[in-house]
Amino acid sequence: MGKESPFNNNRRKFIKGVSLALGTTALGIPLVSLGSCQSGNSANTEEQPGQDTSQKKKLGIALVGLGNYSTEQLAPALQETENCYLAGIVTGTPSKAKEWKNKYNIPEKNIYSYETFDQIKDNPDIDIIYIVLPNGMHAEYTIRAAQAGKHVISEKPMATSVEDAQRMIEACKQNNVSLSIGYRLHFEPHNQRVMELGQQQVYGKINKIEAADSFVFGGSPDKWRLDKQLAGGGPLMDLGVYCVQGACYTTGQKPVAVTAKFGEVTRPEYFDEVEQSISWQLEFSDGVVADCTSSYNESAGKLRGEAENGWWELDPAYSYSGIKGETSEGEMDFPQVNQQARQMDGIAQSIMDGKASRVPGEMGLRDVKILMAIYEAAQTGKRVEISY
């Protein structure tokens, strides 16, 4: 899910209310030219009576889980997309179903509960199911969506175990549907420029990468992000995945080994199940090292690369808006875009074109393997080689 504003449902209630029955490429990142990124953030003309045929050219998306990220980011973004639109919702809260139906003019037949979710297979209005649930539920609902014959977008992190990530990929392959991960920054111009600077060695060979993503977790401690079963871990799963991503798309490589350590727990009333903070060092085969940190008790959001003949830095690097960049030659001059609109438009376009997703399930699996290796290194105090 999105990194800001934790899901506000009582976590114990949430587990009880929704099934958590989780049944049973060396991926170098493809370099994307800034000139080729989808425009996706220009607003649609307001729908008028008799214009329904225009939406037939778009793919219908159903959002599963109407928490903060769906409410504040994805649904508004779907009012700006060009290749897809908000076709349906899945929610366990009747009041939300009514509110969304009225606000977005969603037909009653396109509104589902978790109990009726599998009936979505019979709905031709819905082409893509976007899983916006707690991390521990991504696998179950991705597999069920694939079995319903729908393309899938799963929020990050893809899953809370390597085994679940593999099952998600296999289910989508068996049902001949695409699987993408909600890595919006692959569609954001500043981060795309970092991909070019690093992978094309614009300033020569990379020497070092620094990445940090943190925020201060406040409010009630009874949130799903602090529940190990639902979240899979703490800030590493929620925020640290952005640092892992940043290191990988800066180099275009996969790390080969990691060392890591947990930070001190100063707020045990919050962090009795998941880590409060964690730091780790990723090693790449060409000698590049990425120093990374993530915490629920401080503020940070940086991605920096240092090379033989220059440097670059994004700060903030991972936020939904206001991303800023600078290089040793001056400021980056790129527009602010609706990242979620570009992401969903880009994924929809790849489906319509029959092409591979820019952010495929295999990329998500790679990252889950890295996250699990980081936890192993922190728990054992040993250097852990990463197997793919």
CATH of domain 11-184: 3.40.50.720
pLDDT in tens, the chain (388 residues): 443 333 344 444 444 344 333 332 233 344 433 433 333 333 333 333 333 444 558 999 999 999 999 999 999 999 999 999 999 999 999 999 999 999 999 999 999 999 999 999 999 999 999 999 999 999 999 999 999 999 999 999 999 999 999 999 999 999 999 999 999 999 999 999 999 999 999 999 999 999 999 999 999 999 999 999 999 999 999 999 999 999 999 999 999 999 999 999 999 999 999 999 999 999 999 999 999 999 999 999 999 999 999 999 999 999 999 999 999 999 999 999 999 999 999 999 999 999 999 999 999 999 999 999 999 999 999 999 999 9
Class of domain 189-335+360-385: alpha beta
Residues ≥6 apart with Cβ < 8 Å to 329:
310
Is 242 one of the catalytic residues?
Answer: yes
Distance CA 187, CA 192 (A): 7
- Residue 198's closest CA among 130, 264, 288, 114? 288
Decide: helix, strand or coil at residue 115: coil
Active site residue 156: yes
- Are 6 and 217 in contact, with CB atoms under 8 Å apart? yes
Contact between 219 and 68 (Cβ < 8 Å): no
pTM of the model: 0.88
Catalytic residue among 3, 58, 156, 302: 156
Amino acid at 179: L
State how beta strands 206-214 and 289-295 pair.
Answer: parallel
What are the boundaries of each domain within the chain? 11-184, 189-335+360-385
Can you state the angle between helices 361-380 and 241-251, rounded to 10 degrees? Answer: 120
Look at residues 185, 316, 189 and name the one whose alpha carbon lies nearest to residue 241: 185
| Secondary structure (3-state) at 58 | coil
Nearest Cα neighbor of 40 from 7, 73, 79 is 79
Structure tokens at 49: 């009576």
Catalytic residue among 85, 112, 141, 242: 242
Q: How far apart are CA 334 and CA 187, in angstroms?
A: 12
Please tell me the number of Cα atoms within 13 Å of 274 on its side-chain side.
26
Identify the burial level of 81 via C-beta atoms within 10 angstroms of its C-beta, where 0-12 means exposed, 13-18 middle and 19 or more buried: buried
Comparing CA positions, the residue from 289, 292, 302 lying closest to residue 378 is: 292
Reference 319, options 341, 336, 296, 297; nearest CA is: 336
**Which amino acid, one-letter code, is at 377?**
A
Secondary element (H or E) of residue 252: none
CA dist 299 and 318 (Å) reads: 12
Residue pair 68/5 in contact (Cβ under 8 Å)? The answer is: yes
